[in-house]
Amino acid sequence: MYKINNSGWIEVITGPMYSGKSEELIRRIRRVKIAKKKVKVFKPLIDDRYSNDNVVSHSGDSIEAIPVDRPQELISRLEDDTEVVAIDEIQFFSEDIVPICEHLADKGLRVIVAGLDKDFRNEPFTPVPELLARAEYIEKLHAICLQCGDPATRTQRLIDGEPASYNDPVIMVGASENYEARCRSCHDVKDKPKGDIYE
C-alpha cells in the first residue's frame, strides 16, 4: 500500500461472512501499534457475539475495542493525538458513519473499516457501498462456499437449517448457527422477488 503523505485516507476491508475481514482488521491494527501510532478501535454495541469489548475474528483472534451505539460517539472518544481509527462491523452503523469517516480522513487520520458489503439477500448493505465509493483503498475478501468449495462472495442466512426469507429483517446478529458463506450458485433466498428482465 502506498503512503499518502500529509493526508488522511479511508481503507475498506469487505466481503461476506467468514472471509477474514476482522482478522485482516486486527492484523492492520497490530502493525499500526508496532509503528507506534496512536490508534483507537471501535465496534458497534449491538455486536456482542464473542465479546462486549473486543473485536474478535471467527478464528478467535481478538483485540481490545470501544463499543459504541451511535456513530457520533466515536468523535467524543478520540484523543488529540489519535492518528488511526479502526472500526469493525461497520454495516451495523447508520449512514451517519460515512460523513464521520470522511471528517476524520480530512483531518489527516487513517481510517480503517471492515464490514459486509452485501446483506443476506445479496443486496448492498448500507453504509458500506457509500464508503466503498469514497475510500482510497479497498480490499474485497472471499470465503469458501460450504456447499461446493468454490470461492464464496455471499452470506447465506439460515433459520432452522433452511434459507431465510427475503422479507426477514436485514439485521440479525449471529454466527455459524445462522450464517454460512456461499458462492453465487449455492446462495438461496426464499421469497425473493423475481426480475422479469430476461423472462
Catalytic residue among 79, 89, 102, 139: 89
C-alpha count within 13 angstroms, C-beta hemisphere, residue 27: 8
Catalytic-residue membership of 11: no
Structure confidence at residue 116 (pLDDT) = 97
* pTM for the model: 0.89
Going along the chain from its start, the domains and CATH numbers come out as 9-141 (3.40.50.300)
Q: Cell match 481490545: residue?
A: 64
Do 169 and 44 meet the contact criterion of CB atoms below 8 Å apart? Answer: no
Identity at 38, one-letter amino acid code: K
Give the residue-averaged pLDDT of 144-159: 97
For residue 15, pLDDT beyond 70: yes
Rounded to 5, what percent of the chain is helix, strand, coil? 20, 30, 50
CB neighbourhood size of 38 (10 A): 14
Query: What DSSP character marks residue 22?
Result: H
pLDDT tens sequence across 81-123? 999 999 999 999 999 999 999 999 999 999 999 999 999 999 9
